């Protein structure tokens, strides 16, 4: 079968979706591990803070809030079209799925672009001190997760154009959406830690 040949339903195996699928449980367990990693990084942040004479360490100004706050809402807003796209594919509306997932993807790209602009103006690098190290580590890991969502979404979009998904077969779309929810959701405690805490509580 050539790459350009559309895939029909009879060409594909029958798979279960949702919590009945092993892939769904696999991604859920992966997210438990990822959540543990981020929790450990947040704990490290506060450990460094507890022993620092000042915070941010090194006399750096607390992070500005305007651009990161706008960016956070862009990321959280991306969940809406991502969810609607997931619902569309469950209903067999593949055209709607493609459009909604594309819109959600644009929001993720905007998040990454704004994040790059933000960090191009910071005064510290990852090797400046403990503060710079933990900030760059946490942010870098989260950005890597956003990029992973983009790559997973690109693959599901490519398969959508080949006819892989329908109302009966969409487990990969579901697991990608679940991963998307995690990436957006974990930014809530990360945003509070990295931006709100040093500005209002440190």
**Statement: residue 17 has pLDDT above 80:** no
Please give the C-alpha separations between residue 16 and each of 74, 131, 169, in angstroms, as whole numbers: 32, 46, 7
Cα angle for residues 30, 176, 43 (degrees, 5° grid): 40
pLDDT in tens, 38-62: 999 999 999 999 999 999 999 999 9
The pLDDT value given to residue 23: 80
The third-level CATH classification (topology) of the domain covering 16-200 is: 1.20.120
Give residue limits of the domains in the chain.
16-200
Please provide the size of the chain in residues.
Answer: 202
* Two tokens, residue 139: 């942010």
The confidence score (pLDDT) of residue 1 equals: 44
Q: Is omega for the bond preceding 56 within 30 degrees of 0, making it cis?
A: yes
* 176, 78 Cβ separation under 8 angstroms: no
| Tokens 């998307």, located at residue | 180
């Amino acid at each position: 079968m050539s790459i350009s040949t559309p895939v029909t339903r009879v060409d594909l195996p029958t798979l279960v979706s949702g919590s009945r699928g092993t892939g769904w449980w696999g991604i859920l367990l992966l997210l438990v591990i990822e959540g543990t990693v981020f929790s450990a990084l947040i704990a490290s942040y506060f450990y460094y803070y507890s022993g620092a004479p000042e915070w941010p360490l090194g006399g750096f100004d607390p992070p500005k809030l305007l651009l990161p706050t706008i960016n956070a809402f862009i990321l959280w807003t991306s969940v809406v079209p991502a969810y609607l796209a997931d619902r569309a594919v469950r209903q067999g509306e593949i055209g709607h799925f493609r459009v909604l997932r594309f819109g959600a993807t644009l929001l993720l790209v905007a998040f990454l672009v704004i994040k790059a602009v933000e960090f191009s103006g910071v005064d510290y690098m990852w090797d400046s001190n403990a503060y710079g190290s933990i900030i760059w580590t946490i942010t870098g890991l989260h950005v890597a997760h956003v990029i992973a969502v983009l790559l997973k979404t690109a693959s599901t979009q490519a398969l959508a154009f080949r006819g892989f998904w329908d109302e009966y077969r969409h487990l990969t779309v579901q697991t990608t959406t679940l991963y998307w929810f995690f990436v957006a959701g974990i930014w809530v405690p990360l945003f509070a830690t990295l931006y709100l805490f040093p500005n209002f509580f440190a």
